[in-house]
């Protein structure tokens, strides 16, 4: 019956000498002649790594992330009817449609809007290669509005706008010189409100509903802000469970903590990707820090912490991508190298909604932050191929 199973050689052990010989032979094929080595040949062979080896560990993944020049580039929200949403954000909020990506095979389109400085004319045509190049190399941030075909024709269809029990996404915001005048304009256009400026405990700010029911906060900018626009996109708000985890995570992506506000049972943290040489006030809770934020043209990420959630092991916010909670989708960052960035994310133990090699759209990734929010990681400038600069490439269909 043969020897007991405990006496049998481990499976594959008889092949190991042969495998080792093949690996060493392959190494020899790519190594310089022996006389060119300044170190013993054994030490050089140790540096050779088989393609089957485990990846090398980074000594400092946080430093690698910072080296990738992360810049916050988008906030994605799903919309039901692009005609209504584009009219709201372009005509009322003064945003510019800078690009459109169409995916008829997958039955969705993407619309990218941003606030341009007043007087700056956008001469590119959305959907063209020049517009794509602008989009994937821009310095500012966009609203990415995602339209899945057919929703506009379904009378009962509705996206989840957030702000219900355990929802993570709160709102986007725009800064204005005069909140009351802005709200008069919204009212004249038939918009409805979650809160008017004189309602509630916090006077002087408002929340208007967009066509999908998302909350849009209207905030007074600083009197010292040198901004001529009627409206400028100023923030995206997400609720977080534990600021001690979330803030260091976003700081590792090159964001800077600009301001803190601590209320009785909640705290607010404002972060942004600042241009080189711009430094916020050192005291994050000072009036100067508040003034600094209200003078910015580009948006901030507002992280809201309701005190006590960090002490609840099972507490978790909805990310906006669960069934019954789909509306907000993700925020996105441009980076120099997606693969290098993801290797660093691997080292710090991040989870993924999609790896660069996964799905139909290759070359971009969705990593999860400490609260499970999706962060799209996008190659700055795109992958140049056949005259195009898309930050992804589509999976080739299998041969028949």
Any idea which of 17-31, 107-121, 194-208 has the lowest mean pLDDT? 17-31
pLDDT, tens digit, 9 for 90 and up, residues 213-245: 999 999 999 999 999 999 999 999 999 999 999
**Cα-Cα-Cα-Cα dihedral sign, residues 128, 109, 365, 216:** positive
Q: Which of 9-18, 173-182, 259-268 shows the lowest mean pLDDT across its residues?
A: 9-18
* pLDDT value, residue 42: 34
For residue 90, the Cα-to-chain-centroid distance in whole angstroms is 22
pLDDT at position 388, please?
A: 83
**Catalytic residue of the set 217, 260, 302, 376:** 217
The pLDDT tens digits for 188-203 are: 999 999 999 999 888 9
Give residue 57's pLDDT band: very low, low, confident or very high (50, 70, 90). Answer: low
Which of 56-60, 250-254, 285-289, 369-373 is predicted with the least confidence, judged by mean pLDDT?
56-60
Query: In degrees, to the nearest 5, what angle opens at C-alpha 72 toward C-alphas 66 and 74?
Result: 150
Residues facing residue 206 across a β-bridge: 218
pLDDT band, residue 384 (cuts 50/70/90): confident
Residue 135 in this model has a pLDDT that exceeds 80: yes
Residue labelled with tokens 């899945």:
148
pLDDT at position 398, please?
Answer: 61
pLDDT band for position 389 (50/70/90)? confident
- Reported as a pLDDT band with limits 50, 70 and 90, residue 395 is confident
Give the Cβ contact number of residue 141 at 10 Å.
24
Specify the pLDDT at position 193.
97
Flag whether pLDDT at 28 surpasses 50: no
Q: Evaluate if residue 49 carries a pLDDT over 50.
A: no
Percentage above 90 pLDDT, the chain: 81
Span 328-355, average pLDDT: 97
Report the pLDDT averaged over residues 86-101.
Answer: 98
Nearest to 330 by CA among 299, 286, 282, 368: 368
What is the pLDDT at residue 337?
97
* Class of residue 43 by CB neighbours under 10 A (exposed 0-12, middle 13-18, buried 19+): exposed
Q: With contact defined as beta carbons under 8 Å apart, do 135 and 142 qualify? A: yes
Q: Looking at residues 67-81, what average pLDDT do you find?
A: 98
The residue with greater pLDDT, 37 or 389, is: 389
Tokens for 68? 């990738």
Of 27-31, 62-66, 300-304, 394-398, the range with the lowest mean pLDDT is 27-31
Confidence of residue 58 (pLDDT cuts 50, 70, 90): confident
User: How far is Cα 226 from Cα 119, in angstroms, rounded to an integer?
Assistant: 14
Is residue 251 part of the annotated active site? The answer reads no
Residue 307 CB neighbour total at 10 angstroms? 13
Predicted pLDDT at 399:
58
Q: How far apart (Å, rounded) are the C-alpha atoms in residues 376 and 59?
A: 25
């Amino acid at each position: 019956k043969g020897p007991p199973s405990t006496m049998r050689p481990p499976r594959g052990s008889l092949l190991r000498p042969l495998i080792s010989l093949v690996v060493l032979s392959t190494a020899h094929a790519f190594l310089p002649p022996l006389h060119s080595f300044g170190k013993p040949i054994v030490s050089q062979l140790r540096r050779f790594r088989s393609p089957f080896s485990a990846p090398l560990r980074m000594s400092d993944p946080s430093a690698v992330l910072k080296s990738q020049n992360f810049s916050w580039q988008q906030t994605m929200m799903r919309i039901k009817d692009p005609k209504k949403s584009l009219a709201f954000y372009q005509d009322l909020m003064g945003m510019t449609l800078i690009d459109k990506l169409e995916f008829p095979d997958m039955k969705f389109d993407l619309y990218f809007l941003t606030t341009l400085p007043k007087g700056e004319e956008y001469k590119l045509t959305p959907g063209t290669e020049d517009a794509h190049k602008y989009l994937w190399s821009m310095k500012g941030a966009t609203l990415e509005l995602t339209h899945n075909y057919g929703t506009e024709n379904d009378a009962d269809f509705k996206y989840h706008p957030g702000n219900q029990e355990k929802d993570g996404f709160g709102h986007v915001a725009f800064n204005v010189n005069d909140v009351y005048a802005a709200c008069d304009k919204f009212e004249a256009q038939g918009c409805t409100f979650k809160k008017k400026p004189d309602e509630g405990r916090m006077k002087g700010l408002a929340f208007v509903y967009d066509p999908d029911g998302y909350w849009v906060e209207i905030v007074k900018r600083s009197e010292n802000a040198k901004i001529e626009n009627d409206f400028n996109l100023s923030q995206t708000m997400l609720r977080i469970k534990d600021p001690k985890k979330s803030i260091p995570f976003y700081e590792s992506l090159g964001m800077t903590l600009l301001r803190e506000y601590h209320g009785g049972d909640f705290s607010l943290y404002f972060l942004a990707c600042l241009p080189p040489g711009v430094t916020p006030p050192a005291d994050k809770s000072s009036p100067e820090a508040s003034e600094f934020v209200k003078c910015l043209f580009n948006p901030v990420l507002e992280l809201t912490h309701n005190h006590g959630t960090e002490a609840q092991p099972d507490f978790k916010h909805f990310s906006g991508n669960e069934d019954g909670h789909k509306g907000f989708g993700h925020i996105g960052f441009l980076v120099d190298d997606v693969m290098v960035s993801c290797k660093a994310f691997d080292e710090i133990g991040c989870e993924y909604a999609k790896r660069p090699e996964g799905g139909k759209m290759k070359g971009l990734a969705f990593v999860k932050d400490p609260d499970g929010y999706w962060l799209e990681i996008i190659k700055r400038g795109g992958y140049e191929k056949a005259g195009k600069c898309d930050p992804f490439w589509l999976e080739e269909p299998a041969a028949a």
